[in-house]
Chain A
Amino acid sequence: MFRNYFKTAFRSLTRNRNYTIINIAGLAAGIAVCMMIFMIIQYQTGFDNFHEKKDRVYRVLTESRQEGTGTISYAKNVPFQMPAALKTEFPQLEQVAPVYASHNDELQVVDDSGTHVKNFKEQSGVFYTTPSFFSMFNFPLLAGSYESLKDPNNVLITKEIAENYFGDWKKAMGKTIKITGYYSMGAGLFQFPANALKVSGVLAAIPANTDFQLKLVVAYGTDFTGDAQYGFQQPGWNLSAPDFGCYVLLPQNISFSNFNQQLSTYARKVQTAENKNSYIIQPISTVHYDATTGNFSNKTISKALINVLWLIALFILLIACVNFINLSTAQAVNRAKEVGVRKVLGSNKFQLQIQFIAETLLIVIMAMILAAGITVFALGYVNNLLELSLKFNLLNNPAVLLFLVAVTLIVTILAGFYPSIVLSRFNPVSALKSKLTVNTAKGISLRRGLVVFQFIIAQALIIGTLVIIQQMNYFMNQPLGFDKNAIVNIPFRPDSTGGKLTDYLKQQLLSNGIQFVSFNSNSPVEDNNNMFTTFRFDHSIKDAAFQAISKFVDNDYVPTYKLQLIAGRNLEPSGYTKEFLVNESFVKSLGLKRAEDIIGKEISMLNGLIKCPVVGVVKDFNDRSLHSGLAPLLMATNSTMYRQASIKLSNTNIASSMEGIKKIWEHTFPDYVYEYHFLDEKIAGFYKQENQLSQLYKIFAAIAIFLSCLGLYGLASFMAAQRIKEVGIRKVLGASPGNIVYLFSREFVILIVIAFVIAAPIAWYYMHQWLQDYAYRVTISLWLFAAGGLAAIFIALVTISFQAIRAALTNPVKSLRTE
């Protein structure tokens, strides 16, 4: 029986080839999108899932309450005192591990005789921690031991790093790597002298789905780290660093909330005048979704985004199923005779339903195979776009296999059930006499409803995408208040010569035709690297109610970046800190009315280590990414704090200027890797996630509209075939081709307009919510909606008109004769 079903199905499919291609292609595209979204979500939700003790591992967060407003915010950094204090105060904790994630470390491979062999620079991946870290997290070793991290100056390196540095990881054990790292503390960025590390272990490759992208793991206690001393200070409760965190392993008998209570009680005990923060622990299973607090990989994904992705996957699959239903029921007339014959020969309704569902299954399976093919090809592009390394491997990924089976069944039922009912319900008598038309009122209204549904989704996606694109353009083109064009930043070794080195470099560069050079701690705009500092204003005995971003910059910072002074004067050249520049926001935050009012007032920071007067006020510029608003800003000279040279290139001859800069740098710093970053590229990087999202939405919107139109095309072609006699009669009676095209298009245009009326408010609501996350945002303008709606109507009309025009141009004699 089933063989007969499949045989009929297969022959019927090959006979109606166009219809089959539309059906399979539509379903395949829908399923492929679904499959890729599933894989992305599977990857994103699998972060740090592989640690055996993941249910008991927690991250310590600092909870700070803003004075006045009372808003609570969380940060992943903890005071340097925290790990040691937790160990002594809470002996019941099974493990406590400090983790410092270092950045921009310079590494040198040294041979046995102590001479440099190779230089490397690691932007990230250098972690300082204790063996306890590995008692919580599962990162297997290929050689050596975790315990070696008890002794300072030992380092575990990953296989990849070992191969990169030493050629063969097996040769790495016992080798020496010199590290020169920077560490931040409060408002300061400090360099520690180069330290020789011994490779005491090799870690297996780190999986992609962990937020600990380890490369080199240095024993805590090396360099500036340690329980007894941190940098040049006693590790107290007042100081912390942005990437200094702490992880704990709770014993089985202590609950998360119970420990949090104990911790907050303890926090009140250790509060100081400067530090009124409290602390909580956070399950590591939630870390990857915590976009506001962030993590060491700087990769997070919000639960909301995951839900949106699920929703899009579902909608695209639904659109594909709707196509199937529409086409199947529309062409049901062609199958009417078969249904009639089968009924006459004794088939009952149920057998016919099974037959048509089996036929659907056949189509879905073919679509599934095609979808797998599409996925294999498209995955490379998706990986590229989202910076992932997803692989389509069914055997290694039972979840994907299960997903495929589930989707096959769901789609078969969703898409096959209704048409099977419609087809099997045909009255055999009328079916055999070809009296059947699908223009029964009920059928058409369902099909209309489905078309409206498709276009609601497609138009909502189009409008949403347009809003995202508009917001991205705004990010890219919004004047930031400083010059970002043709400025290149070159990381710079801190100057311990009191300004001699910077003076030398500056002179070299200027004689090379460079116009402006500034040495500074960081660029006018930074995303995550901002150093906030507490300070006291005008001899106050209390810290000011707000913290300010601090930047250390030389006197050329203002002209290089074309900052505007609105009061006072620029900084004077100096190797140490002797005066401050502030921004307008700083003045306003203090409650001063006029910028001039702050000139000459003293600011004290770093526990009174620095006390100087304000000499000038600059006009506000965007000192943070446009996700956040402006922040109060302090700028001062201090040559030991400069970490980069900012060079303004003239627009002519950029290549030769860059070549000259490279020569100067390599000549001056032969031991270190030369690198450079263009400021505009760095700024674009702040919006990478939005950019990826906008690319992704563009694809989704395109697929949604493509699928909807595919369905429309199929529907229009069946309508044209069905109304061929009507068209013939109308033409005989004098209708022009234009009348006929109008006849076909009118209904669909009405449906799309109805869909637009529903889609527009939905899209507006969601995009309005989305924009609320940005301090700087576009207003959703009406033309966006108009453009979205008109685009949908235009595309749909083009799709329909193929069929409509063909019908309109048919010779009426021919179409009437076939009756």
Chain B
Amino acid sequence: MNNNMIKITDLEKYYRTEEVETIALNKLSIEVKEGEFVAVMGPSGCGKSTLLNILGLLDDADGGSFVFNGIEVAGYNERKRADLRKRNIGFVFQSFNLIDELTVFENVELPLIYNNVKAADRKKRVEEVLDNLKIMHRRNHYPQQLSGGQQQRVAVARAVVNSPKLILADEPTGNLDSSNGNEVMQLLTELNEKGTTIVMVTHSEHDARYSHRIIRMLDGHSVTENILI
């Protein structure tokens, strides 16, 4: 519980257009311990999403250090990032981001395919996860045939099927009504209780209360940290 899963120091990220340079992350330093559930909050444009993308190895920083699980990953190339990502990180998005052409089962199966898991094992694990999340009966449906809550469950199932060490959630309840939203938060809490580290970006104080700690950001750096437990 005491090991740092994420330790970023003086992280910088700029967005440049021809005329202006916007600072998205301004010498940001934070740590996330293994098994923690952290919520990141802040007004629009404060850099939360940028932070999440860098944590998820989808984007790289322009300066500073990012140690993931004890390894410095700042400066990794795309191939290495993809490799690290697919083994360690699961994602949950506000807009679910399920592939419309694939069924529920196939969507959840996808990370396992990219991790070269054998077909028989894949089937077993996907079914297990679908069962746990109570969407087994929807396994052959396509995303458009599901309600928002159900789609987000599938997205969560997909995020956890590979038993990642870290789940990054980007406003996971943003597109859901409150009862569906609570269900998803419940799910995340359960996962966290089983040992998965979670970093969640949210606008909702209500959702943030499910976490252990809230990092509040403004203009690219962290302003306060509220420890909830």
- Which residues of A are in contact with B by a Cβ distance under 8 Å? 1, 4, 7-8, 11-12, 15, 337-338, 340-349, 351, 427-429, 432
Tell me what chain A mostly uses at the interface: helix, strand, loop, or mixed: helix
Query: Which of chain A's residues has its CB closest to B170's CB?
Result: A432
Tell me whether A346 and B101 are in contact (CB under 8 A).
no
Knowing A4-B110, A15-B100, the reply to whether A349 touches B78 (Cβ < 8 A) is yes
**For B158, what are the chain A residues with a Cβ–Cβ distance below 8 Å?**
345
15 example contacts (A-B, Cβ-Cβ < 8 A) are as follows A7-B101, A7-B106, A11-B101, A337-B99, A338-B99, A341-B110, A344-B56, A345-B158, A346-B86, A346-B114, A347-B114, A348-B78, A428-B58, A429-B53, A432-B95
- Kindly state whether residue B66 has any CB partner on chain A within 8 Å: no
Most buried by B among A340, A344, A347: A344
Most buried by A among B58, B87, B93, B109: B58
Knowing A346-B115, A429-B59, the reply to whether A341 touches B82 (Cβ < 8 A) is no
Question: What 0/1 readout, one digit per residue, does chain B (25-65) give for beta carbons within 8 Å of chain A?
Answer: 00000000000000000000000000001001011000000
**For A343, what are the chain B residues with a Cβ–Cβ distance below 8 Å?**
58, 82
Separation of A429 and B100 alpha carbons in the complex (Å): 18
Tell me whether A341 and B99 are in contact (CB under 8 A).
yes
Tell me whether B110 and A345 are in contact (CB under 8 A).
yes
**Additional A-B contact list (6), CB under 8 Å, known A7-B106, A345-B114:** A7-B102, A342-B110, A343-B58, A345-B86, A345-B91, A346-B115
Query: Which of chain B's residues has its CB closest to A8's CB?
Result: B101
Tell me whether B58 and A341 are in contact (CB under 8 A).
no
Query: Which of chain A's residues has its CB closest to B96's CB?
Result: A341
Interface size range on B against A: 20 to 34
Tell me whether B87 and A346 are in contact (CB under 8 A).
yes
Which B residues from 62 to 113 make CB contacts under 8 A with A?
78-79, 82-83, 85-87, 91, 93, 95, 97-102, 106, 109-111, 113
Tell me whether A432 and B97 are in contact (CB under 8 A).
yes
Separation of A427 and B58 alpha carbons in the complex (Å): 8
Tell me the smallest distance from the CB of B114 to a CB of chain A, in Å.
Answer: 4
Nearest 8 Cβ contacts at the A-B interface:
A346-B86, A11-B101, A346-B114, A348-B82, A345-B111, A429-B53, A341-B97, A12-B101
Separation of A340 and B96 alpha carbons in the complex (Å): 12
**For B78, what are the chain A residues with a Cβ–Cβ distance below 8 Å?**
348-349
Tell me whether B91 and A344 are in contact (CB under 8 A).
yes
Tell me the smallest distance from the CB of B48 to a CB of chain A, in Å.
Answer: 13
Contact of A346 among B53, B100, B111 (CB under 8 A): B111
Query: Which of chain B's residues has its CB closest to A349's CB?
Result: B78
Separation of A118 and B82 alpha carbons in the complex (Å): 86
Tell me the smallest distance from the CB of B15 to a CB of chain A, in Å.
Answer: 11
Tell me the smallest distance from the CB of A117 to a CB of chain B, in Å.
Answer: 75
Contact of A341 among B53, B56, B87, B98 (CB under 8 A): B98
Separation of A343 and B101 alpha carbons in the complex (Å): 16
Knowing A343-B58, A343-B82, A349-B78, the reply to whether A15 touches B110 (Cβ < 8 A) is no
**For B101, what are the chain A residues with a Cβ–Cβ distance below 8 Å?**
7-8, 11-12, 15, 338
**For B93, what are the chain A residues with a Cβ–Cβ distance below 8 Å?**
432
Tell me the smallest distance from the CB of A174 to a CB of chain B, in Å.
Answer: 75
Contact of A344 among B85, B102, B109 (CB under 8 A): B85
Tell me the smallest distance from the CB of A793 to a CB of chain B, in Å.
Answer: 36
Separation of A604 and B46 alpha carbons in the complex (Å): 110
Contact of A351 among B85, B87, B114 (CB under 8 A): B114
Contact of B58 among A7, A15, A344, A351 (CB under 8 A): A344
Query: Which of chain A's residues has its CB closest to B81's CB?
Result: A348
Separation of A344 and B155 alpha carbons in the complex (Å): 12
Tell me whether A4 and B56 are in contact (CB under 8 A).
no
Tell me whether A8 and B99 are in contact (CB under 8 A).
yes
**For B87, what are the chain A residues with a Cβ–Cβ distance below 8 Å?**
346
**For B111, what are the chain A residues with a Cβ–Cβ distance below 8 Å?**
345-346
Separation of A484 and B99 alpha carbons in the complex (Å): 73
**For B98, what are the chain A residues with a Cβ–Cβ distance below 8 Å?**
341
Query: Which of chain B's residues has its CB closest to A425's CB?
Result: B78
**For A340, what are the chain B residues with a Cβ–Cβ distance below 8 Å?**
97
**For A15, what are the chain B residues with a Cβ–Cβ distance below 8 Å?**
100-101
